[in-house]
Amino acid sequence: MHTLLSNAFKALEEIIQPRYCIFCMNKIPVKEVHFICQDCKSKIKKNPPPFCNRCGKHTYSKLCRECLPKDTGDHLKAYYLFQYKGLIQDGLQKFKYRRALSLLSYLSEELDLFLKEEILSFEKIDFISYVPLHRRKLKEREFNQAEILAKAISKRVNIPLLKKLLLRKIYTPPQSNLSKEERRINIESAFKVNLKYKNTIRNSKILLIDDIITTGSTAAECIKELERLGSKTIILAAAGG
């Protein structure tokens, strides 16, 4: 009897409040946990292991072709789950600029699984934080997508979240239209560590969350600032490439 009533309520819910895939807008069943249909999920391209030891790109070498010739002196150590193309590129743009928060549960669940399998199996993470936005940009967007992801992941893995660990002291133009070298110059000295955490993070390992990693310029600058106070940092992004 209970099963029959439960099925009846679900059928009624699908009629009264139907759910649609955020990508293709096809109707999805109420029992579907995320707002993404199975067909669209199958089209999202992941970034499988093994990874480049620097930027996190899939490669069978220690360093990928892009990182091999570099002698930047940075200590970039990054991972990312999805290839930044196709559906996930569209989804992250909506998440970032149009507050498509219906994507959050899918991203946080997938990042949680990736973190446990590919990072926490080998690394002890003491704290989680996120790449900050400048206060002007935060006012324009009204939220920081990296912070939202970091909060969700911190809760899932029960690792403390440090809010406003990094502060963005310089308002920089968007990185998307710049060359690799222009991006590096654009972001140079843009961050500082919130000194209230200077004793907390000394000799700790921090997982820094971002939505997208491309050239790694932003991530490398964040790591450089955190290293000044004696902490080691790993970047985890939803997508990259």
pLDDT range class, residue 8, cuts 50, 70, 90: very low
pTM metric for this prediction:
0.87
Sign of CA dihedral 218, 223, 229, 234: positive
Tokens (6 digits) for 28: 């999805």
The two tokens of residue 132 are 């900050």
Retrieve residue 218's tokens: 């932003």
> What would the pLDDT profile of 157-186 be if each residue is shown by its tens digit?
999 999 999 999 877 666 566 566 666 665
Q: Summarize pLDDT for 188-230 with one digit per residue, the tens.
A: 778 999 999 999 999 999 999 999 998 898 999 999 999 999 9
Question: Could you say which DSSP state residue 168 is in?
Answer: E
Would you state the pLDDT for residue 9?
46
pLDDT 10s digits, 78-96: 999 999 999 999 999 998 8
Q: Which domains does the chain have, with CATH numbers?
A: 1-43 (no CATH), 44-240 (3.40.50.2020)
